[in-house]
Amino acid sequence: MPLPQAFFALIRRDLVLALRRRSEMINPLLFFILVITLFPLGIGAQPQLLKAIAPGIIWVSALLAAMLSLDSLFRSDFDDGSLEQILLSSHPASVLVLGKVIAHWLVTGLPLLIVAPLLAVFLGLPGHSVGILLLTLLLGTPVLSLIGAIGVALTVGLRRGGMILSLLVLPLYVPVLIFAGNAVEMAGTGLPVDAQINILISILLMALVLAPWPTAAALKMSIN
Amino acid sequence: MLLIPDSVVRFFHRMASPPHFYAFTERLMPWLTVIFLLLTAAGLYGGLYLAPPDYQQGDSYRIIYIHVPSAWMSLFIYVVMAIAGAIGLIWRIKLAEIVAISSAPVGAGFTFIALVTGSLWGKPMWGAWWVWDARLTSELILLFLYLGVIGLYGAIDDKRVASKAVAILALVGVVNIPIIHYSVEWWNTLHQGPTVTKMDKPSIHVSMLIPLLLMALSFKLYYLIAMLQRARTELLMRERNSQWVRTMVLENEQ
């Protein structure tokens, strides 16, 4: 099988598997909605305050939801041995890993984009910022999946990998959080956000090119 | 390879052998300790007695003799760790792996010291123990990166595998550190600008600069001592079943 065909076959397989096990798709989404619901309950329902911190709330919740969903990225393939088969194939492991990450983002990242506008309206974010919020989520959540994949690949062989995963991954999420949160906040005050969006694009491109390498290396180490 | 003298190549080849490394560092240790003590004494004397008080900050600026070298070391050690990890990954040199993981706790310690001394200085200067300033925040994130490395190493039982995992993580971290640093810098800044590393003339008086550089050197030596001590015990742990450790232990018992 040539490489592009193998790449798309892998994405297709992962999407079919995800459709058969819908809880993996739904759980991060429900978590995202729940966490955002908790904020007004915790800090009080003053519309001005909520509006001011809405970009931060939505982005931090997206970060946590993305991190929680990471475990399903390689877990079942690791348990049933198909991960070994993928790494043993004659194709470069980094490209196949990228296929798995893309499938994972389509299943767990994209749904966040669909519910985010609704939650943004709940929190009182003005209409113009909602568009920017969607744009930052579209550019930012794939980065979360790509960087997160490195962390899961390092910990997939461990029995108690969950806690350590957050310690590995969350510090690396900081730049995305800063630029995305700031872009939405600036958009709310009517300032231009081109710089932040451009930086997010460059972070995404860099993550697309660089992140699959350490992920593949870490997976080879983990199945050792 | 042609550019490197033969004796240097031979030195590195011999350092990659565990028994040789163990014996060599044992002989090195007293020298390192003496130089470290001399440098620290000179640096502290220069910094705390000879250097004049600052015209604005009075005597409280003197914490920089601990704070600034620690902050430098925190970054320096992370880079050393990543380089040692890469050497371990590429050439499968056991000792490079050990140097990488032995560096992590020392680096985390320096990061912690930089944070604590910064906070102590910040209370009288800024009126708060902690402000969400750019360099403080990126130093805090650096501490988390160190803790991640230490945690990951502890979580994997097979130490050869753990070393590889740590090396990959350190390399990912080293690519990310500048990105994190500049994003945090861009996010917010309150910290006083760099005064020593300016390319032109440093904006610090020479009587304050010399003790600072002495302290920076002394901290480098401290790192070397602490890291080598950790590396030696780690080496003994890993090689506990090998012949040279057995002979050495038996010789020591007699």
Here the contacts of B193-200 (C-beta below 8 Å, separation 24 or greater) are B196/B68
- Does the distance separating the beta carbons of A172 and B155 come in below 8 Å? no
Q: Which residues of chain A have pLDDT under 50?
A: none
Task: Calculate helix-pair angle for B134-155, B159-187, nearest 10 degrees.
Answer: 170
What secondary structure letter does DSSP report for B194? P
Residue closest to B172 by CA, chosen among B151, B148, B156: B148
Q: Residue A67 corresponds to which amino acid?
A: M
CA-angle at B166, arms to B160 and B170, nearest 5°: 150
- Does the distance separating the beta carbons of A175 and B183 come in below 8 Å? yes
Chain A nearest CA to B146, separation (Å): 9
- Does the distance separating the beta carbons of A164 and B151 come in below 8 Å? yes
Structure tokens at A54: 């809405």
Query: So what's the pLDDT on residue B194?
Result: 57
Partner B contacted by A143 (CB < 8 A): no
B71-91: average pLDDT: 93
Confidence of residue B190 (pLDDT cuts 50, 70, 90): very low
Scored b (16 or more CB within 10 A) or e, A119-156 reads bbeebebeeebbebbbbbbbbbbbbbbbbbbbbbbbbb
Rounded to whole angstroms, how far apart are CA atoms A82 and A40?
44
Backbone CA torsion sign across B161, B164, B168, B173 = positive
B13-27: average pLDDT: 85
Structure tokens at A60: 């931090």
Domain spans in chain B, listed from the N-terminal domain onward = 24-228
Scored b (16 or more CB within 10 A) or e, B226-247 reads bbbebbbebbeebbeeeeebee
Phi, psi of B54 (to 5 degrees): -70, 145
CA-atom Rg of chain A in angstroms = 18
B239 vs B187, more confident = B239
Structure tokens at A91: 């194709």
Partner A contacted by B132 (CB < 8 A): no
Rounded to whole angstroms, how far apart are CA atoms B159 and B166?
10
Select the residue from B89, B139, B147, B179 to test the A interface by mutation, using most A Cβ atoms within 10 A.
Answer: B179
B113 vs B202, more confident = B113
The string of pLDDT tens digits covering residues A82-139 is 999 999 988 999 999 999 999 999 999 999 999 999 999 989 888 888 999 999 999 9
Among A179, A217, A221, the residue with its CB nearest the CB of B161 is: A221
The chain B residue lying nearest A195, using CA atoms, is: B186
Check pLDDT > 90 for residue B61. no
Secondary structure (3-state) at B240: coil
Residues of B in contact with A172 (CB under 8 A): 172-173, 176, 180
Partner B contacted by A52 (CB < 8 A): no
Rounded to whole angstroms, how far apart are CA atoms A150 and A154?
6
Is the separation of the CB atoms in B46 and B221 below 8 Å? no
Query: So what's the pLDDT on residue B129?
Result: 82
Partner A contacted by B86 (CB < 8 A): no
